[in-house]
Copies of this chain bind each other. A is one copy, B any other.
């Protein structure tokens, strides 16, 4: 079982870095708190499906694409 929860933080951080964004910029685009984005990227917090979708939208990809990247990581 590819542990999605382990990969999710890493993939989010990776995609954010690819775009050259700060946590703050991502947080603003996702309509989330900037400290919470930090917790997610560190794996300290597991987001709800709603929050995960906000992050995907902010990263300008489908949530299914984001999840798929976690699965094949």
Residue ranges of A at the interface with B (Cβ–Cβ < 8 Å): 1-2, 4-5, 8, 46-50, 52-53, 57, 62-65, 67-68, 71
Contacts and interface: CB of A to CB of B under 8 A. Distances in A.
B5 A50 contact: yes
Main secondary structure of the interface of A (DSSP, over half): helix
A68 B8 CA distance: 17
A55 to B, nearest CB: 10
A67 B63 contact: yes
A48 B57 CA distance: 17
Contact of A48 (B1, B49, B63, B64): B49
Nearest to A62: B71
A65 B64 CA distance: 7
